[in-house]
Amino acid sequence: MLDLFKKITQKVEEVYKNTPPAIGVIGVSGVGKSSTLNSMFKTQLKTSATIRCTTEFSDHLVGTTVTNGPHEGKNAVLRVIDAPGLGEDIRQDPAYLKMYSENLPQCDVILYILSARNRAVALDQQYLKDLGEFYDKMVFGINQVDLVEPMDWDFAKNMPSENQESNIQEILSDRKSRIEDIIGREIKIIPYGAKQYYRLSNLFESIIDSCPEDRLWLFQIIKGFSAKDWLDKVEGISEEEKERILKSSNNK
Ligand SMILES: Nc1nc2c(ncn2[C@@H]2O[C@H](COP(=O)(O)OP(=O)(O)O)[C@@H](O)[C@H]2O)c(=O)[nH]1
Ligand SMILES: [Mg+2]
């Protein structure tokens, strides 16, 4: 019996090592794909406010120590794939879309990022139409919520002001219905801020929840990824605020 258990454990570790859980990140240029991966997984991908800087798919293995749950203390590996951004130049898009189709099948989950500051979603709708084969494993995030009008982010609490929050909710329901119209099913869409590490834990949870059944166990191993690790990096935020944010993010 013990032997069988050992064999199964070995097998699990083997699958884990050979094909770790893989998350692909796609979306229009400048929405913060690379920044999201950097904030979430401490990668050091180049980001830019002005020009594109990701021209090919880049594949990274990120290691982390599981900080809670049954696998606490174990090292977990995750594969993250950063995609070049669509929509920079209409002449580039067909080549990028081809690259998307070639690379995305390797991903367990695909995070499609939009920016809260872009009102036009026609481009996203257009690209989504071309990516129909991946709908099942897509999850959506709206980044850069700190830039939502009236742009008065509450830095002390590291959260949107009341006015921002109500605008964020409006943006959220608008984008949700526009995307759902295209892909024909209900979607999960999480508002967050890569730069502020705001609601990254919600985003991560939603990524895990969108993983296909047969690979879910791989993601469960890393489910212990701690929201506190992210919050620790936000500057100027008090311990009490951290506790409050952690509590509210756990309840969502
Ligand atoms: N204010 C703000 N800026 C962000 C946020 N996330 C990314 N950015 C900025 O948006 C720009 C584009 O980000 P980048 O990660 O290069 O986008 P990509 O082209 O989608 O990979 C950079 O200047 C980032 O610093 C965010 O949450 N808030
Ligand atoms: Mg990039």
* CATH classification at residue 154: 3.40.50.300
- 163 within a domain of the structure (yes/no): yes
Residue 178 lies in a domain: yes
Mean pLDDT score, 178-188: 94
Domain count, the chain: 1
**Confidence check: pLDDT of 19 > 50:** yes
**Residue partners of 144: CB distance under 8 A and separation at least 6:** 31, 32, 115, 116, 117, 193, 194, 195
Residue 6 lies in a domain: no
32 CB near ligand 1 (under 6 Å): yes
Confidence category of residue 252, pLDDT binned at 50, 70, 90: very low
Query: Running DSSP on this structure, what letter comes out for residue 104?
Result: G
Could you tell me if residue 13 is inside a domain?
no
The reply to whether ligand 1 has any atom less than 6 angstroms from the CB of 158 is: no
Is residue 33 in a domain? yes
Does a structural domain hold residue 1?
no
Extract the tokens encoding 219: 């993601």
Rounded average pLDDT over 208-225: 71
Residue 23 and residue 28: Cα distance in Å, rounded? 17
Nearest CA, atom 13, ligand 1 = 32
CA nearest 241: which of 164, 154, 168, 162?
154
Task: Give me the percent of the chain exceeding a pLDDT of 70.
Answer: 71
* Least confident among 34-38, 91-95, 212-216, 231-235: 231-235
What is the token pair recorded at 169? 């909710």
User: What pLDDT does residue 251 have?
Assistant: 42
Task: Name the DSSP class of 215.
Answer: H
Nearest listed ligand to the Cα of residue 53: 2
Judge whether 47 lies within some domain.
Answer: yes
Token pair of 109 as six digits: 């989950």
CB atoms within 10 A of CB 21: 24
**What digits encode the pLDDT tens for the residues 112-150?**
999 999 888 998 999 999 999 999 999 999 999 999 999
**Does any ligand 1 atom lie closer than 6 A to the CB of residue 31?**
yes
Output the pTM of the full model. 0.84
Of 102-116, 156-170, 195-209, the least confident: 195-209
pLDDT score of 66: 64
* Of 25, 35, 171, 197, best ligand 1 pocket probe by most atoms within 8 Å of the beta carbon: 35
pLDDT at residue 87 in the model = 77
Residue 2 lies in a domain: no
Domain housing 197: 19-250
Contacts of 21 (CB under 8 A, 6+ apart): 78, 79, 108, 109, 211, 215, 218, 219, 222
Pairing of strands 75-82, 58-65: antiparallel
Quote the CA–CA distance of 81 and 93 in Å, as a whole number: 18
